[in-house]
Structure 1
Amino acid sequence: MVVGLVIACEVAFWVLLAAGLAFRYALRMPCTGLVLLLCEPLLEVVLLAVTALDLKNGAAPDWRHGLAAVYLGFTAGLGPATVRWADARAAHRLAGGPPPVRPPKYGTARAVHEWRTAGRWILSAAVALALLQGAVWYVGDDGGTGPLRAWQQRMLWVIGVNLLIALSYTLFPKREPPARDAGKPVDPEADAARRSRR
């Protein structure tokens, strides 16, 4: 039941997102679109309540309860950014808004972007860790919390990997390639010879 509800919540998230943006931009009904988008957190509340009720009724904690906690954590950490990403694209395509800003490719700006991205993933994993720890305390040490602890270890890996990725962009920033012969007149014969060697 818990896994089915996680899948239903994920499907409902995208349905509500698409419907909310369609009402907001295509149908020019921004209030209705906002209401639909604000319904999305209710999905997580329902999932949290059902998971807690399942544990309260004596279900042994297993990977499904851990999956529900991880899903809730990642929805909390990544959901708002996903909505903003989709909103910018819908505004551009359906309402003539400005084109979405592309992430920077090089240097410090790219490193800052990677740290922001890592921050969202780390927040997601931290929320999942907190929910998993809450479930461990709720069940108690004699309730067989091994599967929940296993999910906590995975979340620590997620945090570690994202820190390493962001740190790599800080220590080894991607450099912008130099402009090709900027300001120099082009020699047609030399250019043709260079192309023929490729």
Structure 2
Amino acid sequence: MTIIGWMIVFCEIAFWVVIVLGLMTRYIFKKKQLGIILLALTPLVDLTLLIAAGIDIYRGEVATTAHAIAAVYIGISIAYGKSMIEWADQRFQYYVTKQGEKPRKRYGIEYSKHYFKGWIRHFIAYIIGGGILVGLIFWIDDISRTQALSGVAKIWSIVLGIDLIISITYFIWPPKEKGISSGT
């Protein structure tokens, strides 16, 4: 695995460690301000990865799939970061501190709308990560060094399209609560 590959692993672990520490500080140790500060550090994890990937490419490395995944990771982290923290916060409060509301499952049109909001986040992540990929491709300006970046961008475009189709199907056939029939 390349240095960038290891950086992605490190950043993903660091992202969740910072979130868990922030939630523990906030709810278990009752230091709400410090907890918020720790949670606010999550973008620094992304910045670390972006700097590492940029330095690696600047030094003349051929862009690899790991570099492309770093761009994808940054886009996803920015687009989904707040909602992932809210998701973790709600579950931490309910399952660990035994406070707050129980996370509920969504069904029907509510599920469809929620999934579509997730697709919009996916699209935002695609714009951010894809923008980084395109920026790197133009910055490097050498097709032989950027094939991995182009390949990942193409695959991500297909995945985004498939995700949109899935999102639309949930409006046509919304998920039903188990044990409830459609009446036919």
Task: Report the equivalent of 1:49.
Answer: 51
Write the deviation string for residues 84-135 of structure 1: whole angstroms up to 9, x where unpaired. 00111222245553224424212x2221112112222222222211110111
Aligned residue among 7, 10, 19 for 2:9: 7
Q: Which residue of 2 aligns with 1:19?
A: 21
- Identity rate, percent: 25
Match of 2:69? 67
CA contact (8 A) 1:122 1:162 kept: no
SS of residue matched to 1:98: coil
Q: 1:89 aligns with which of 85, 88, 91?
A: 91
What are the superposed Cα offsets for residues 60-103 of structure 1, whole Å, 9 maximum, x if unpaired?
Answer: 11212112111111111222211000111222245553224424
Deviation at 1:36, TM superposition (A): 0.9
CA distance in 1, matches of 2:82, 2:176: 30
Q: Distance in 2 between matches of 1:174 and 1:21?
A: 32
1:143 CA drift (Å): 5.0
Deviating beyond 4 angstroms after TM superposition, the runs of 4 or more aligned structure 1 residues are: none
- Larger deviation: 169-178 or 14-23? 169-178
Instruction: Work out the CA distance in 2 between the residues paired with 1:142 and 1:115.
Output: 35
In structure 1, how many angstroms separate the alpha carbons of the residues matched to 2:176 and 2:65?
Answer: 43
Larger Rg: 1
Partner of 2:114: 113
Task: Give the match's secondary structure for 1:59.
Answer: coil
What letter matches 1:150 in structure 2? G
Task: Give the superposed CA RMSD.
Answer: 2.0
**Partner of residue 196, structure 1:** none
Q: Distance in 1 between matches of 2:98 and 2:135?
A: 46
State how far apart, in whole Å, the 1-side matches of 2:37 and 2:99 are: 21
Aligned to 2:145: 144
1:123 correspondence with 2:127: no
One-letter amino acid matched to 2:164: L
Cα distance, 1:98–1:54 mapped onto 2, change above 3 Å: same
Residues of 1 paired with 2:65 and 2:106: CA distance? 38
1:32 is aligned, of 34, 42, 63, to 34
| Alignment gaps of 5+ in structure 2 | none
Q: What's the CA shift for 1:175?
A: 5.0
Contact 1:103–1:113 (8 Å) recurs in 2: no
Structure 1 spans left out of the alignment, 5+ residues = 181-198
1:163 to 2:164 alignment: yes
User: Quick check: 2:91–2:103 contact (8 Å CA) kept in 1?
Assistant: no
